[in-house]
Amino acid sequence: MSILSGKKILLGVTAGIAAYKTASLVRLFIKSGAEVKVVMTPAAKDFVTPLTLSTLSKNPVVSSFFDEEDENALWNNHVELGLWADVMLIAPATANTLSKMASGNSDNLLLATYLSAKCPVYFAPAMDLDMYNHPSTHETFEKLQEFGNIMIPAESGELASGLVGQGRMAEPENIIDFLEKDILEKLPLKGQTVLITAGPTYEAIDPVRFIGNHSSGKMGIELALTAANLGAQVYLVLGPSSLTVSHGLIDVIPVVSAEDMYQAVIERYENCDIAIASAAVADYRPKHVSDQKIKKADTEFSIELERTKDILKWMGAEKKNQFLVGFALETENEKENAIGKLKKKNLDLIVLNSLNDKGAGFKGQTNKVTLINHKLEIKAFELKTKSEVAKDIFDTINQLKKDE
C-alpha cells in the first residue's frame, strides 16, 4: 500500500501543454488510495477539460471563486480548500504561476488557495528550455524553496517548441515516486520498528470449544495503521479476528492462544523500538485440553484452569531500549489500578479505558482513554474514534521519546 493511501491531495493545474498529463496523474493518485480534488487556473481549461479531471478524481473541479452563470451558487472557498489538503501539488507549474507564487500575487482561485494552504506544497515546473534556464526563473525556484515549498525537478527531453533539454514536467509516475519518497523520508517513525499485540486469544477446551473474550482487535489494527503511516515497520501479532489489515509496512503474524502470542513476541521484541500490548490476552487456560469433543452430561462439569504467561510482565522485565506501552481495561478504581500496572510491569506509558464509559471497550468504533506516563502525568481524552485515539497515543509516544 502506498504511503499516499488515505491522504487528501489537492492538485493545482496551470496553463501549460503538460496539463494533459494530469489525467494520468489523478488516476495514479486514486490508484494509490488518495482522495483528490483539483483546482485549475481558468486558462488551464484550454489544455485539459474539467470534465476529464472531475470524472477521474470523483470530485468537482473548481477554477473560479464563483459560478458566473448561477447567481445563487455558493462561492468556492479557497481557505477551506487549503485547509482540507494533506498535500498540495501544483503540476504543471508554469513560469507565470511560479512567479506569482513567489511574489504573493493572488489573481485567481489556485493562487489564493496556495497562499491559504497549511500543508506541504510541491511544484513541478513545466516550460520551454530558455524559460527554464532564465535567471529570473531560477531566482523564483530559490525563493519558493526558501518559503518551504518542495520542487520536483523538471526532466530533460523534447519540448513543445522542438528544442531538446530540461523543462519537461516530470512524468506522472516519477511525480508519485518523488512524493512517496519525500513524505516517507520525513515521517517521524521512519527507520523504527513497532511491535503491536492485538485482538483476543482463544484457549482450547477441546477441538470445538475455547475460552475467549469479546476483543475484535480494532484498536490494535488502528495503532498498526497509524504507526505504518508514520513510517515505521510494524509487526502486528493478531489474535483471532474477523478484521483484516493491508499495508506495505505492516507484517501480520496471526496467532490463536496466549502461548502463540508469547512466542511471537519473544521472537521480535529484542529488535523493536516501540512495543504496544493492546491485546486482550487470556489470563487463564484449561490445564488439560481434551483431544476429543467433550460430550454433554447430566452432571455438573468443571474445568481446572492454570495461569497463562504474563506477556506484558515479561516485556517489562526484558526491556532495554524499547518504549513499552500497556493497556488497562478497568471497571473500578481505574486510575489506581492503571498506575499500579504501570509500575509493576515497568511500562513507559499505559492506556486506561473504563467499561463504565459509554462508547469505550470492545467491538465498537470508538474509545475513551486516559494516558498515564512513567512520570505519572495524566491526560484524559474525550470519546473519539479508535483511529483518532491511535493518533493521540502515537503523538504522546513521540513527544515522550523526544523529551528523553
Q: Pairing mode, if any, of strands 366-367 and 384-385?
A: antiparallel
Whole-Å CA distances, 40 to 15, 21, 45, 153: 8, 14, 7, 21
Maximum separation of any 2 CA atoms in the chain, in Å: 94
Active site residues: 213
User: For residue 209, which phi and psi values (nearest 5 degrees)?
Assistant: -105, 155
Residue ranges with strand state E in 169-209: 193-198, 203-204
Whole-Å CA distances, 239 to 162, 222, 326: 62, 15, 17
User: For residue 266, which phi and psi values (nearest 5 degrees)?
Assistant: -55, -40
Q: How many helices (H) and strands (E) does the chain have?
A: 13, 22
State the residue for C-alpha cell 467433550: 294
| DSSP symbols for 338-385 | HHHHHHHTT-SEEEEEETTSTT-SSSSSEE--EEEETT--EEE--SEE
